Structure 1
Amino acid sequence: MWRLPGARAALRGAVRAAEPRRRGGGEAKRGPAMERAVVRCVPSEATLSVSFAMADGRRRNLQRDQSEPLGRALGRIAAHALKGPRKRGAKGQGQGQGGKARPEAAGGVDPEPEPVAVRLWLRDEPVSEAARNADAWVDGAVLQVGGARYRVERNPPALTELRLPRVLLAGCPAWPRLRLEFAQPDACRFRWFREARPGDDDEAHDPRDPDDRDQDDDHDPTRWADTGERGRAYTPSDADVGRRLKLRCTPGDGQRLGESLELCGGPVQAGPGACPCDARHLRTRRPAGPARLRALSYNVLADAYASSDFARASLFPYCAPHALEPDYRLSLLLRELNGYRADLLCLQEVDRAAFHDVLAPALAARGLDGLFRPKRPQEGLATFFRADKLRLLAQHDVALADALRDHPRHRPLLERLARNPLARDQVLRRSSVLQVSVFQSTEDPSKKICVANTHLYWHPKGGYIRLIQMAVALAHIKHVSCDLYPGIPVIFCGDFNSTPSTGTYHFVINGSIAEDHEDWASYGEEERCNMSLTHSFKLKSACGEPAYTNYVGGFHGCLDYIFIDMDAFEVEQVIPLPSHEEVTTHQALPSVSHPSDHIALVCDLKWK
């Protein structure tokens, strides 16, 4: 036990921390309320931290070595307890509170300060001061500092970051980004508020409600009305336009709740009005039925290619700058994807951060699990699947260039390509990847399916590169669907950067490409690499050959496809693409009403 003089008067216990709300179904009662001492101790780190609040508002945050004896940490806490009072006393020696003369003890000497005990208890027994910090600071222990006692909470659920979208649009889901420690997103609690206006008194906070009073900011005169939303996402209505929103988030781990955090955002802006997806959503108001899959393929336009100065000035100069901002486009994208009610989504150009922070949790809330395969450090491919219809069996993703260079399966193709070293090097420099997932139907376990997703090389003159990439992709898909899982059908989605007139499309649909096809010289004679290719699949484009799936200034064409195994699936419904008038309302894509330069392909497939 440690005793140091003068600290007791400085301790009240703590400024009341934001205690977890304990309603029905919460934690068991712990007896009388006790302040918290939060301990963060991670085995992979050398130090632990101890944090608690003092009576005068000071917060003590100590970093101590995990292997250090407890006694040293307690001694440091005792020393900290004296720092505040001593500093204030030194400022005006001989003066008491309010500048009045301080009475002296007999003989002109200050009275000896009363000693203060600093000790750690566990189950009403003192913890040995020789114990290691990592072993001593456990849940349920009690830190005593003078007359104050603190309940030790080791690694409680915590929010390390909470961020609302920069843009809040009426009619579009507002999905906050969370960073959690020792917590699970599904165990967190959320509560949404809107800025109150005159006439909203019946909805506004009741100041007598301790749940509201706990969180009220004395310096913020804003009155807030409870929206009633308790989910992670909130979709503002037209009635919210012009109002700010506030989110209160309390992290949890399924057993405990951590300290709440509040964040304001907005004001809410009016939505974009009619969107190209609105009429399409009328066709997808009901989910696909049993023995059917609603498939979607969509290049969602990565932020790296949309919000740069080059994109604004050269690629999409016709698009309002605010409509190219990531949060604006993500809001539109979530609204669009939710409305399709798809069972299988193959997305390209997905930002890594957007996948983990927004798309994966937002779609998980609607029953879709997600898989991500990076292409470049900042973006890649994502496949989402409805968990009550499909069960993931395996993943067999590959980088196409790596597979061509390193795997014996592709050695004959590489040897033919190597006849032109310049062409070979061009192909091997490309970063395109192939995402391959094997699923089993939950309705009929005898049915399995191989789902492939890719984004081929983009350059208009890269026809021969795309042919080689497609040959590698189909060979790999054949290995999965014929060798590893014999006889399972294939759905192959993606942005293939190939119109129906190109060699790549011809190769997929017809099963072969002649060595004299013009695409073998797409980059010119120096890179010509004539060869014939074949594959054994029977594939067709489920959505046909639309006039375009990509519409930008200076180009429009069909680049995206959902290729399906003709022997295994029949197309029950193709969701019509937006009309030309809808696409060109704002000249081209993306726009204030459409988040990407591509258009989603959506169709309902029926197992044969």
Structure 2
Amino acid sequence: MGGGATRLHSVLAQTLSNNSPLSLPSSHLGSCQRADANLDQVFCQEQKGSPLCPPDPVDLLRQCEEALRDRPQRIHRKFTHLSEGNGASSSPIRVMQWNILAQALGEGLDSFVNCPMEALSWSRRKYLILEEILTHRPHILCLQEVDHYYDTFQPVLSGLGYSSSFCPKPWSPCLDVEGNNGPDGCALFFDQSRFEFLDSVNIRLSAMRIPTNQVSVVTVLRCRSTGKYLCVAVTHLKARSGWEWLRSAQGSDLLRHLQNLIQKHPSGPVGSPFSDIPLLICGDFNAIPTEEVYRRFAASPLGLDSAYKKLSQDGLTEPEYTTWKIRPTGECCTTLDYIWYSQDSLRVDAVLNMPTEEQIGPNRLPSFSYPSDHLSLVCDLSFKEGE
């Protein structure tokens, strides 16, 4: 970056400071202003009327860490590198899946009884979320429970070179919380330097042909380095016990949509590039591995496998947990989040390990160290040779 590197990028200033029209409630103004001041050295801006120069992600990460300097020790995670086929790709595709916890739900409805309200404030959590994303720098980023898309994630990540699509829930529970920032939904981001956008569709998932409150974003991309196509979906299925049948129906509906998309349409051109396209499906399924919706994905004719099974010794077992929280009803430690991929076309090169119980801490998630009750899933994928 040039000599203007000490000035704040105007987009970030509008989205991460309280001078924005979409500011935080007055109860958060003091702490937010102190934290936002730490980002004043991150981005540069050209003269008025000229394009904004891209921020340096390393500088932004450093400033996020500075804004969070008073927090307990950060959770550090390492990658497990896998030796499959001819070895890891020299240029893998990094994918991140994460339910980031909607701000309105964290503060208003989710009742994390061991988490101080200060740790749930947006003035703190936005830096923790951004820090996690910047630490791993994914090429494809799939998020759920996004209720700050338009005022934070879209403009900030756009400044970092990401393009995105967002689909809010039709009846988001966030809207029941006073002072909410709008509905939560699913968001899909991709690195424009790595992928070319081809098409995207927002899907409202159905059960027995009846529309439900859960959604999916499906985007078709072309890899700039290989010229190969990739269909990416992000979703968030119905939560809570007793709704297993609905999750199964929603999962089946998503699989149906994806199968229709990637199959060559009878009226389409011969050799359509969307025929047999590799799939990547990320989401908070709200389903443990023994549930029917998990079995449907595992047994799908689309040939899907779950990336995080690669962490197990037998390669067949999911992690013990992807979420660990304490609510008034008790402690919940289970696996609900997945990265599914086309195993015939894609190879898993590396997987980010899950933190230990000691790293998470006795009060579980979220916390001053981690902004969500769900852990991020990150893996490196590459196209198999000849695919």
Whether TM-score is above 0.5 comes out as yes
- In structure 1, distance between residues paired with 2:246 and 2:349: 34
Counterpart Cα distance in 2 of 1:298 and 1:507: 22
Residues 64 and 128, structure 2, Cα contact 8 Å, conserved in 1? no
Larger radius of gyration: 1
Question: Any idea what the Cα deviations from partners look like across 1:209-234, whole Å, max 9, x if unmatched?
Answer: xxxxxxxxxxxxxxxxxxxxxx9998
Aligned to 2:351: 574
State the one-letter code of the partner of 1:365.
G
Q: How does 1:380-391 map to 2 (within 5 A)?
A: 380-391=185-196
Secondary structure of the residue that 1:322 maps to in structure 2?
Answer: helix
Instruction: Quote the Cα distance in structure 1 between the aligned partners of 2:237 and 2:246.
Output: 9
What corresponds to 2:229 in structure 1? 448
Shift of 1:304: 1.9
Aligned to 1:592: 368
**Cα offset, 1:587, TM superposition:** 1.4
Extract unaligned runs of 5+ from structure 2: 5-18, 42-47, 82-87, 173-181, 266-273, 310-317
Report the counterpart of residue 562 of structure 1 in structure 2.
339
**Residues of 2 paired with 1:281 and 1:186: CA distance?**
37
Following superposition, the deviation at residue 270 of structure 1 comes to 3.8
Specify which of 56, 77, 84 is matched with residue 279 of structure 1: 77
Deviation at 1:577, TM superposition (A): 1.1
Check 1:237–1:448 CA distance in 2 against 1; reply closer, same or farther (3 A cut): closer
Relative to structure 1, is the Cα distance of residues 234 and 470 closer, same or farther in structure 2, using a 3 angstrom cutoff? Answer: same
Residue 279 of structure 1: how far off its partner (Å): 3.2
Aligned counterparts, 1:33-112, within 5 A: none
Aligned equivalent of 2:7:
none
Q: Among residues 497, 506, 509, which one is paired with 2:286 in the alignment?
A: 497
Letter in 2 for 1:508: F
Structure 1 residues 325 and 538, CA gap change in structure 2 (3 angstroms): same
After superposition, residues 537-552 of structure 1 pair within 5 angstroms as 537-544=302-309, 545-552=318-325
Q: Tell me if the contact between 1:432 and 1:457 (Cα under 8 Å) persists in the aligned partners.
A: yes
CA contact (8 A) 1:169 1:331 kept: no
Which amino acid counterpart does residue 469 of structure 1 have in structure 2?
Answer: Q
Matched, 1:323 2:99: no
CA 1:168 to 1:474, structure 2 compared with 1: closer, same or farther past 3 Å? same
Contact 1:552/1:590, CA 8 A, preserved across alignment: yes
The secondary structure found in structure 2 opposite 1:400 is strand
Structure 1 residue 170: deviation in Å? 7.3
**1:378 aligned onto 2:183:** yes
Q: Find 1:393's aligned residue among 182, 193, 198.
A: 198
In 2, Cα distance between the equivalents of 1:160 and 1:552? 33
DSSP 3-state at the match of 1:397: strand
Q: Give structure 1 stretches of 5+ with no counterpart.
A: 1-22, 24-158, 177-182, 191-230, 239-267, 405-412, 415-427, 512-535
Contact 1:297 1:346 in 2 (8 A): yes
Let me know the Cα RMSD of the aligned residues.
Answer: 3.3
Pairwise CA distance, 1:272: 1.0
Aligned to 1:603: 379
User: Judging changes above 3 Å, is the alpha-carbon distance between structure 1 residues 328 and 432 closer, same or farther for their aligned structure 2 residues?
Assistant: same
Number of equivalences: 316
Please, which of 481, 484, 495 is the counterpart of residue 262 of structure 2?
A: 481
| Closer, same or farther: CA 551–160 of 1 in aligned 2, 3 Å | closer
Q: Secondary structure at the match of 1:307?
A: helix
Q: Equivalent residue of 1:459, what SS?
A: coil
8 Å CA contact 2:125, 2:371 repeated in 1: yes
1:390-417, Cα deviation, whole Å (9 max, x unpaired): 111001221013xx6xxxxxxxx54xxx
Q: TM-score, normalised by structure 1?
A: 0.48
1:281 offset after TM fit, Å? Answer: 8.3
Which whole-Å CA distance do the structure 2 matches of 1:546 and 1:168 have between them? 39
Q: How does 1:316-465 map to 2 (within 5 A)?
A: 316-351=112-147, 354-375=148-169, 376=172, 377-401=182-206, 414=209, 428=210, 430-445=212-227, 447-465=228-246
User: What is the aligned counterpart of 2:63 among 226, 235, 256?
Assistant: 235
> 1:298 pairs with 93, 98, 117, which one?
98
Structure 1 residues 272 and 281, CA gap change in structure 2 (3 angstroms): farther
The percentage of counterpart residues that share the same residue type is 29
**What residue in structure 2 maps to residue 41 of structure 1?**
none
Shift of 1:589: 0.6
Deviates more, 1:316-325 or 1:289-298: 289-298
Match of 1:156 in 2: none
Asked if 1 retains the 8 angstrom alpha-carbon contact of 2:365 and 2:372, the reply is: yes
Identify if the C-alpha distance between structure 1 residues 280 and 290 changes in structure 2 by more than 3 Å, giving closer, same or farther: same
Distance 1:393 1:338, change over 3 A: same
TM-score norm. by structure 2 comes to 0.73
Aligned partners of 2:341 and 2:40: how far apart in 1? 34
Q: Is the 8 A contact 1:169 1:270 kept in 2?
A: no
Q: In the aligned structure 1, how far is the partner of 2:357 from the partner of 2:188?
A: 29
SS at match of 1:339: helix
Task: Give the deviation of 1:441 after TM superposition.
Answer: 0.7
Mapped partners of 1:234, 1:171: distance in 2: 13
Higher relative contact order (CA 8 A, sep 6+): 2
Q: CA 1:588–1:334 in structure 2 vs 1: closer, same or farther (change >3 Å)?
A: same
- Return the alpha-carbon distance in structure 2 between the equivalents of residues 356 and 432 of structure 1: 20
Seen in structure 2, the aligned counterparts of structure 1 residues 281 and 465 have a Cα distance that, compared at 3 Å, is: same
